[in-house]
């Protein structure tokens, strides 16, 4: 199924859900990040089966050289991976790489990804979440050049390619992974908010003649022109 068809299907899923339930952008976000995840992987907790401890111990042998792996008790949903992360945060052209690994390939796939980053001393600020979703492995890099290096590695790694979940159809994708640039906001949360607003708008107007990917694209364009870059409508940002 093409990305356009996947977008159309997801919009339809949200529309049908809203016909039965009162759901908000938070519920749309939950639907989005689990889109096309194998049902057997839904709910799988990567921290309970020992992955977080394993990764901390595995990369701890580097003694802080080119990588630091830890779980912050105040943000325990993620296992964090960092190397010269301040360099990344200072960049204006940060690139977020989403590497969606399934449950069977998560343990060793993560090890191979961050072993590559460590050996090449690539600056990054990254995290791996507890649950299988299309953003369970996120690598934030400081440049397109580093993103291309990582992309080439993943494209040439048969094991990782075998374990990839379908990436976010709303993002730029290449070789089974997704890319975004969002700095201080969440790209996926923003997409979910726009999907929620779009479906609500279509239902309110009761006009489904252009419902789908193209209608969604036009809705975002109009919203950008009418609200985001229009100071007189800034008050709508808090309510939408």
Question: Could you report the per-residue pLDDT of 137-155, keeping only the tens digit for each?
Answer: 999 999 999 999 999 999 9
Q: Average pLDDT in the 72-98 region?
A: 91
Is the predicted pLDDT of residue 77 greater than 60, yes or no? Answer: yes
Identify the pLDDT of residue 48.
63
Identify the pLDDT of residue 151.
96
Identify the pLDDT of residue 234.
60
Contact 179, 97 (CB under 8 A): yes
- Closest residue by Cα to residue 31 from 192, 202, 219, 214: 192
pLDDT, tens only, 106-121:
999 999 999 999 999 9
Residue 47 banded pLDDT, cuts 50, 70, 90: confident
Average pLDDT score, the chain: 91
Is the predicted pLDDT of residue 224 greater than 90, yes or no? Answer: no
Looking at per-residue pLDDT, the higher value among 233 and 108 belongs to 108
Looking at per-residue pLDDT, the higher value among 214 and 62 belongs to 214
User: Is the C-alpha dihedral spanning 31, 37, 41, 47 positive or negative?
Assistant: negative
Is the predicted pLDDT of residue 240 greater than 70, yes or no? Answer: no
pLDDT, tens only, 166-194:
999 999 998 899 999 877 778 999 999 99
Is the predicted pLDDT of residue 65 greater than 90, yes or no? Answer: no
Rounded to an integer, what is the distance from CA 8 to the centroid of its chain? 19
């Amino acid at each position: 199924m093409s990305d356009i068809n996947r977008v159309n299907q997801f919009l339809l899923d949200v529309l049908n859900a809203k016909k039965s339930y009162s759901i908000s952008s938070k519920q749309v976000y939950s639907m989005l990040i689990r889109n096309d995840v194998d049902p057997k992987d839904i709910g799988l907790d990567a921290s309970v089966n020992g992955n977080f401890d394993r990764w901390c111990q595995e990369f701890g042998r580097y003694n802080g050289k080119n990588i630091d792996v830890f779980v912050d008790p105040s943000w325990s949903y993620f296992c964090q991976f960092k190397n010269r992360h301040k360099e990344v945060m200072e960049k204006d052209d940060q690139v977020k790489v989403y590497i969606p690994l399934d449950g069977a390939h998560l343990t060793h796939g993560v090890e191979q990804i961050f072993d590559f980053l460590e050996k090449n001393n690539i600056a990054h600020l990254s995290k791996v979440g507890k649950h299988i979703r299309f953003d369970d492995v996120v690598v934030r890099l400081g440049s397109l050049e580093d993103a291309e290096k990582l992309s080439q590695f993943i494209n040439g790694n048969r094991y990782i390619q075998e374990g990839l979940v379908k990436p976010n159809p709303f993002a730029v994708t290449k070789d089974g992974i997704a890319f975004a640039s969002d700095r201080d906001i969440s790209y996926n949360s923003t997409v979910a908010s726009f999907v929620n607003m779009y479906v609500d708008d279509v239902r309110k107007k009761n006009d489904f003649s252009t419902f789908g990917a193209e209608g969604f694209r036009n809705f975002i364009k109009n919203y950008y022109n009418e609200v985001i870059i229009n100071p007189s409508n800034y008050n709508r940002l808090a309510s939408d």
